[in-house]
């Protein structure tokens, strides 16, 4: 019979041997997840973070941490094709990965620099090699529904509710043919469903898919239902009419109406009453001006009191005019065909003008008409072949907008039908700000 003490000793020795083969790590230690920062195993290093200061260079930062001038020169030459060091900008964050050797001396192995909120580049100095790696921080997407009542402007409501700034631009793009953003009234409101992208589930870095919206303007509800027809994503009204119309509501963004259409306006320069058959949009010099509809340029040049002027002829015997421009967009010439939304010029104060603004005019059959009250004809509506599928999507989206369905229900029902993945619109965050 085997001695029990011998058997116990043998088993204990085998256990020690097996533990040694595993490097002495417990099961909990083996399962401990690796913490990656900019794709680097961070627990092996001491991390030091900072911001690029005005006048500071990558070479200066590296030199302070033991990287030789010869190595910095090699890095500069190696980085020219991928990310030139001259592209480093003040205010951007950087992280240094410092390793301590057996003699307790620190060595810089990596420097990570944040090009944008999400994108980064890592410069490596391990051994004698130099590496340059670009990457993107992992993000999560959250589906969000938000509502707001407007007291002053759409942008004001977005800021008051601490919503992503990009959301205002996206809503203006969707409703640019339908909602008069220069005529927003107190009490107008909106509800919108969108995807928002986060880093570490806390820092918003942009919005993606707009799932649907309802904009209440002048006591009328305007829905925006996304649907793909003819292979192209568009937004539609609840009855299937296209939100896209023949003319844009305005030829520029981010401005205000300083003077409306009138046959008896006190001229700001000549101080006499005369007709002003256009709408003035006050905006900073250089603000982009865009064609309100497809057409052909019939005039480009000096228009007397109107200064630099462009006229475009459109379908339906319509002509639009853009006066007081500071300069014309590249390629704009008489006979040039332009599409709705194309850049044609920039706001200025040329001709008889007291300050930078755009004088926007429309003529029909040669007679001036008020640009703010032009009848709008929608683009092609939902095709009959797509009507049943569109109404299914519409009902799902409106149910979510009104709180009668959960996002999970809508995602599973509509996701494969509505639209392909929409590009992320990254937030523009001012320097030295961490909040949206």
| Percent of the residues in the chain that have a pLDDT greater than 90, as a whole number | 51
Mean pLDDT of the chain: 83
Tally the domains of the chain.
Answer: 3
Asked, for residue 9, whether it belongs to a domain, the answer is no
Alpha helices (H) in 115-245, listed in sequence order:
154-160, 165-174
Tokens 């260079």 correspond to what residue? 57
Q: How confident is residue 201, by pLDDT bands cut at 50, 70 and 90?
A: confident
For residues 264 and 355, membership in a common domain is answered with yes
Q: What is the CATH number of the domain that holds 121?
A: 3.10.450.350
Give pLDDT, residue 30: 56
Exposed (0-12), middle (13-18) or buried (19+): which is 247, by Cβ within 10 Å?
buried
Phi/psi for 62 (5° steps) reads: -65, -40
Nearest to 323, CA basis, from 383, 368, 389: 368
Using pLDDT thresholds of 50, 70 and 90, give the confidence band for residue 416.
Answer: low
Asked if residue 179 belongs to a domain, the reply is: yes
Residues 361 and 413 in one domain: no
Higher pLDDT, 406 or 42: 42
Mean pLDDT of 122-132: 92
What would the mean pLDDT of 207-222 be, rounded to a whole number?
A: 91
State the pLDDT confidence band at 261, using cuts at 50, 70 and 90. Answer: low
pLDDT digits (tens, 9 = 90+) for 70-91: 999 999 999 998 899 999 999 9
Q: Helix axis angle, 387-401 relative to 407-418, nearest 10°?
A: 150
Does any domain span residue 10? no
CATH number at residue 295: 2.70.70.10
Q: Residue 413 — pLDDT band, cuts 50, 70, 90?
A: low
Give the pLDDT score at 423.
45
* 215 has pLDDT over 90: yes
- Tell me: do 279 and 228 sit in the same domain: no
Clarify whether residues 132 and 145 are in a common domain.
no
Same domain, 368 and 263: yes
Q: How confident is the model at residue 138 (pLDDT cuts 50, 70, 90)?
A: confident
CB 245 within 8 A of CB 177: yes
Does residue 223 fall inside a structural domain?
A: yes
How would residue 20 be classed by pLDDT, with cut points 50, 70 and 90?
very low
Q: Is residue 433 very low, low, confident or very high in pLDDT (cuts 50, 70, 90)?
A: very low
* Other CB atoms within 10 Å distance of the CB of residue 279: 23
What does the pLDDT average to over 313-337?
94
Do 79 and 163 reside in the same domain of the chain? no
Q: What is the pLDDT of residue 268?
A: 56
Confidence of residue 312 (pLDDT cuts 50, 70, 90): very high
Residue 261 lies in a domain: yes
Closest CA to 368 of 251, 282, 260, 249: 260
pLDDT at 5: 46
Among 3-17, 24-38, 61-75, name the one with the lowest average pLDDT: 3-17
| Same-domain status, 236 and 89 | no
pLDDT at position 348? 96
Domain match, 274 and 287 both = yes
| Model pLDDT, residue 228 | 87
According to the model, what pLDDT value does residue 153 have?
A: 87
Of 30-39, 70-79, 286-295, 343-352, the range with the lowest mean pLDDT is 30-39
DSSP 205-242: EEEEEEEEEEEEETTEEEEEEEEEETTEEEEE-TTS-B
What's the confidence (pLDDT) of residue 309? 97
Q: Is the pLDDT of residue 349 over 80?
A: yes
Max intra-chain CA distance, the chain: 124
286, 349: one domain: yes
Q: Best-predicted range by mean pLDDT among 222-236, 336-350, 413-427?
A: 336-350
Average pLDDT over residues 110-126: 94
Identify whether the C-beta of residue 91 lies closer than 8 Å to the C-beta of residue 115: no
Q: Tell me, what's the pLDDT at 350?
A: 95
Domain co-membership, 298 together with 355:
yes
Structural domain span for residue 332: 256-373
pLDDT reported for residue 277: 82
List alpha helices for 22-68, DSSP H.
Answer: 27-30, 58-64
pLDDT at 93 over 90: yes
Q: Say whether pLDDT at 419 is over 50.
A: no
Mean pLDDT of 173-178: 88
Per the model's pLDDT, the better-predicted residue between 116 and 30 turns out to be 116
Q: What is the pLDDT of residues 391-402, one digit of tens each?
A: 988 998 999 999
Tell me the average pLDDT across 171-193.
88
The pLDDT value recorded for residue 35 is 87
Report which of residues 258 and 88 the model is more confident about. Answer: 88
pLDDT at 152: 86
Confidence of residue 183 (pLDDT cuts 50, 70, 90): confident
Same domain for 279 and 224? no
Q: Where are the alpha helices (DSSP H) in 53-96?
A: 58-64, 69-79
Say whether pLDDT at 420 is over 60. no
């Amino acid at each position: 019979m085997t001695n029990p003490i011998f058997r116990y000793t043998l088993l204990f020795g085998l256990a020690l041997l097996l533990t040694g083969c595993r490097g002495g790590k417990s099961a909990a230690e083996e399962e401990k997840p690796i913490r990656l920062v900019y794709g680097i195993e961070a627990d092996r290093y001491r991390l030091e973070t900072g911001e690029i200061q005005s006048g500071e260079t990558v070479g200066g930062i590296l030199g302070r941490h033991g990287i030789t001038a010869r190595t910095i020169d090699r890095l500069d030459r190696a980085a020219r094709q991928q990310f030139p060091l001259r592209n480093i900008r003040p205010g951007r964050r950087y992280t240094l990965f410092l390793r301590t050797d057996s003699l307790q001396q620190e060595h810089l192995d990596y420097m990570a620099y944040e090009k944008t909120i999400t994108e980064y580049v890592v410069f490596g100095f391990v051994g004698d090699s130099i590496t340059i790696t670009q990457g993107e921080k992992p993000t999560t997407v959250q589906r969000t529904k938000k509502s707001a009542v407007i007291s002053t402007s759409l942008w004001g409501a977005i800021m008051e509710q601490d919503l992503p700034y990009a959301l205002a631009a996206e809503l203006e793009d969707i409703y640019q043919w339908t909602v008069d953003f220069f005529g927003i009234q107190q009490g107008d409101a909106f509800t919108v469903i969108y995807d928002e992208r986060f880093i570490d589930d806390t820092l918003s870095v942009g919005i993606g898919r707009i799932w649907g919206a309802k904009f209440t303007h002048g006591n009328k509800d305007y829905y925006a239902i996304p649907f793909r027809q003819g292979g192209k994503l568009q937004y539609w009204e609840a009855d299937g009419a296209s939100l896209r119309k023949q003319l844009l509501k305005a030829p520029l963004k981010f401005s205000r109406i300083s003077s409306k259409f009138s046959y008896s306006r006190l001229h700001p320069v000549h101080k006499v009453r005369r007709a002003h058959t256009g709408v003035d949009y006050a905006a900073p010099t250089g603000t982009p001006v865009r064609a309100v509809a497809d057409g052909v340029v019939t005039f480009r040049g000096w228009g007397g009191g109107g200064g630099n002027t462009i006229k475009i002829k459109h379908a339906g015997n319509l002509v639009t005019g853009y006066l007081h421009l500071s300069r014309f967009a590249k390629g704009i010439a008489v006979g040039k065909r332009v599409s709705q939304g194309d850049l044609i010029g920039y706001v200025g104060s040329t001709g008889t003008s007291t300050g930078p603004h755009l004088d926007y005019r429309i003529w029909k059959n040669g007679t001036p008409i008020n640009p703010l009250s032009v009848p709008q004809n929608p683009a092609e509506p939902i095709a009959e072949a797509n009507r049943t599928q569109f109404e299914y999507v519409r009902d799902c989206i409106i149910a979510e907008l009104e709180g009668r369905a959960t996002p999970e229900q809508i995602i599973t029902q509509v996701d494969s039908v509505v639209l392909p993945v929409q590009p992320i619109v990254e937030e523009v965050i001012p320097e030295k700000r961490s909040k949206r």
